[in-house]
Amino acid sequence: MLALKLPLLPVRVRMFEVGMTVAMWFEKLSRGVLRVLTPTGPRYVRPSLAERVYLLWIFRNFSTLPVKVLSQRQQSWINRVCTNHGFTSLLRASDGTLLGTLEQRPPIEPRNLPPLRPSPAVTEAVTQFANVEQRS
């Protein structure tokens, strides 16, 4: 009798895991928020249901994405969502489940520095060293 109950145990465990996954998806669809990491700290956006579905698709394989990996269309869409709904600074644990995290780092602009001129002291030391090497 005990042998008959053991094979059913993995099936019940798998059904429980699937049930938890479905519950997680429903939670994300019903109350999910998008976290955007900005230089001033994390900000949160509460998208509509249709927008949450699309965000679930965007973040289907990764929970955090940099802006660079998104297509131009996805970037402009997310900018529109952020503009339409606005940012919230703080998020309590009861406020929603994270759909995903978008890393928005400011672009690093190259600094225009004047070309470096060699120091006279360094040039003199190198010249003296080169002369010693040639004599040997």
CA distance 13 to 22: 14
- The model scores a pTM over 0.75: no
Give the residue among 98, 4, 121 at the shortest CA–CA distance from 47.
Answer: 98
Give the residue among 95, 68, 100 at the shortest CA–CA distance from 81.
Answer: 100
Lowest-pLDDT choice from 9-13, 24-28, 66-70: 9-13
Lowest-pLDDT choice from 56-65, 103-112, 116-125: 103-112
Highest mean pLDDT among 1-5, 74-78, 94-98: 74-78
CA distances to 6, 18, 64 from 11, in Å? 10, 11, 32
Give the residue among 39, 38, 36, 29 at the shortest CA–CA distance from 81.
Answer: 36
Give the model confidence (pLDDT) of 19-37 as tens digits: 557 788 888 888 889 999 9
pLDDT of 109 reads: 58
Question: Taking residues 100-127, what's their average pLDDT?
Answer: 72
For residue 85, is it left (φ>0), alpha (ψ between -120 and 50) or beta?
alpha
52 neighbors 33 (Cβ within 8 angstroms)? no
